[in-house]
């Protein structure tokens, strides 16, 4: 939440947020990028992480940053979290924020 608040309107919201938790710092960074590129609207198979994603999305949208940083209720479209085993004493966390460039759609003709 602090990372998104500090970024404000700079990443051109509405944003997508990827969070990587655990492993080494390098692994957490990799996981956060992978989480960022997860399909929007997908639900995490891990129920605990799915709940965390929902809670984070709600709190981020309560920040009121809004589209392009002009205020509003939609600051983020999705939050995706991926984890890896790690020792709690060195719990690395990485956050990747995706701007409009990571929003995508697909279709078949």
Q: What is the pLDDT of residues 67-94, one digit of tens each?
A: 999 999 999 999 999 999 998 888 999 9
Structure tokens at 12: 């051109």
- Whether omega for the bond prior to residue 14 falls within 30 degrees of 0, making it cis, is yes
Q: Could you say which residues of the chain have pLDDT below 70?
A: 100, 103-105
What pTM value is reported for the model? 0.89
């Amino acid at each position: 939440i602090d990372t998104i608040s500090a970024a404000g309107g700079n990443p051109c919201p509405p944003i997508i947020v990827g969070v990587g938790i655990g492993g080494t710092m390098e692994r957490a960074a990799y996981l956060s990028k992978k989480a960022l590129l997860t399909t929007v609207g997908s639900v995490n198979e891990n129920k605990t992480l799915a709940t965390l994603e929902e809670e984070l999305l709600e709190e981020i949208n309560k920040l009121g940053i809004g589209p392009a940083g002009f205020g509003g209720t939609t600051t983020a479209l999705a939050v995706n979290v991926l984890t890896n085993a790690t020792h709690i004493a060195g719990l690395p966390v990485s956050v990747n924020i995706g701007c409009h460039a990571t929003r995508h759609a697909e279709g078949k003709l």
